[in-house]
């Protein structure tokens, strides 16, 4: 199965992506996680991407498309994969269709996680992330067992630079302008399923599984 997760920053794409990856036994591929690892490793790609990411702007399509084409062609993606954070522009969606065509494959479902901007802002301001294993917590509604420490790997949690309130507003503006139009494209191709992103994560997962298995 090839599944795309869409929704604004903070909608819960990463959380649901990891649940679904476990459920279906296929990799969850987060373009943001790949970029953050490149930045942490101070690679050429990381250095190219960092200034865009810190401001909450999109990294240029050419860089992202090459990075994702490389990832999708890996052996572990053969049984299928879940995309979180890619595609984010109409051009990236076109490039994804082209790369899948070349592999003789196509997208099965596009899942849109629907959530209000007010909720997104509240959620992201409380978000704490593990730079080591990418686990995500929320100081208000999903705190780690030990304050500031990842339950999963024991690493210290951080607040991402791009999770500051002013940067979140910029990310939302960019999402509305550049990413939202993709939803219509996939809807026209009857690939779109929409799920309410407001309830608790386990409730959302149940709703998603019901939608996908219908
Ligand atoms: P995310 O973790 O998905 O919120 O991504 C964090 C940041 O990485 C974004 O704000 C962008 O700067 C960059 N990024 C991630 N995915 C993409 C993409 N598909 N296209 C352009 N930039 C991206």
143 Cβ partners below 8 Å, 6+ apart?
A: 137
Q: Is the CB of 163 under 6 A from ligand 1?
A: no
pLDDT tens by residue, 69-116: 999 999 999 999 999 999 999 999 999 999 999 999 999 999 999 999
CB of 38 shorter than 6 A to ligand 1: no
Give the residue-averaged pLDDT of 11-16: 93
Q: Which atom of ligand 1 is nearest to the CA of 85?
A: 3
pLDDT value, residue 34? 96
> What's the rounded Cα separation, in Å, for the pair 96 and 29?
13
- Token pair 């509604």 in the structure block, residue: 141
CA torsion 198-127-30-194 (nearest 10°) is 10
- What spacing in Å lies between the alpha carbon of 189 and ligand 1's midpoint? 25
- Amino acid 40: pLDDT: 92
Point out the ligand 1 atom lying closest to the alpha carbon of residue 87. Answer: 19
Helix, strand, or coil (residue 5): strand
Model pLDDT, residue 213: 85
Report the distance separating Cα 88 and Cα 185, nearest Å: 12
pTM: predicted TM-score of the whole model, two decimal places: 0.90
Q: How much is the pLDDT for 112? A: 97
Residue 125 has pLDDT above 90, yes or no: no
Q: Report the relative pairing of strands 2-6 and 81-84 from DSSP bridges.
A: parallel
Asked if residue 88 has its Cβ within 6 Å of ligand 1, the reply is: yes
What is the structure's pLDDT at 154?
97
**Hey, which residues are catalytic here?**
13, 88, 127, 160, 171
Q: What is the predicted pLDDT for the residue at 28? A: 97
DSSP state letters, 155-197: PBPB--GGGSHHHHHHHHHHIIIIIHHHHHHHHHTT-EEEEE-
Whether the CB of 110 sits within 6 Å of ligand 1 = no
- Are the CB atoms for 73 and 103 separated by under 8 Å? yes
Whether residue 141 contacts residue 126, with contact meaning beta carbons closer than 8 Å, is answered with yes
Cβ atoms of 88 and 110 closer than 8 Å:
no
Distance, in Å, from the CA atom of 129 to the CA atom of 64, rounded to the nearest integer, reads 22
Q: Using a 6 Å cutoff on CB, does residue 15 contact ligand 1?
A: no
Q: Could you read off the pLDDT of 167-201 as tens digits, one per residue? A: 889 999 999 999 999 999 999 999 999 999 999 89
Closest CA to ligand 1's atom 12: 53
Instruction: State yes or no: pLDDT of 158 exceeds 80.
Output: yes
18 near 28, Cβ under 8 Å?
A: yes
Output the pLDDT for position 51. Answer: 93
């Amino acid at each position: 199965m090839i599944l795309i997760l869409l929704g604004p920053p903070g909608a819960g794409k990463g959380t649901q992506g990891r649940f679904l990856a476990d459920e279906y036994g296929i990799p969850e591929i987060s373009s943001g996680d790949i970029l953050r690892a490149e930045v942490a490793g101070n690679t050429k790609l990381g250095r190219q991407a960092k200034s865009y990411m810190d401001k909450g702007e999109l990294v240029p399509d050419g860089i992202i498309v090459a990075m994702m084409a490389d990832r999708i062609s890996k052996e572990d993606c053969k049984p299928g994969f879940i995309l979180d954070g890619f595609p984010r522009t109409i051009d990236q969606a076109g490039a994804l269709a082209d790369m899948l065509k070349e592999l003789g494959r196509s997208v099965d479902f596009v899942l849109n996680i629907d959530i209000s901007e007010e909720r997104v802002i509240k959620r992201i301001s409380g978000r704490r992330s593990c730079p080591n294993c990418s686990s995500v917590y929320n100081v208000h509604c999903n705190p780690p067992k030990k304050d500031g420490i990842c339950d999963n790997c024991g690493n210290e949690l951080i607040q991402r630079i791009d999770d500051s309130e002013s940067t979140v507003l910029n990310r939302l503006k960019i999402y509305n302008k550049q990413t939202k139009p993709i939803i219509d494209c996939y809807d026209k191709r009857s690939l779109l399923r929409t799920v309410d992103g407001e309830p608790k994560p386990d409730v959302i997962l149940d709703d998603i599984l019901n939608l996908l298995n219908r």
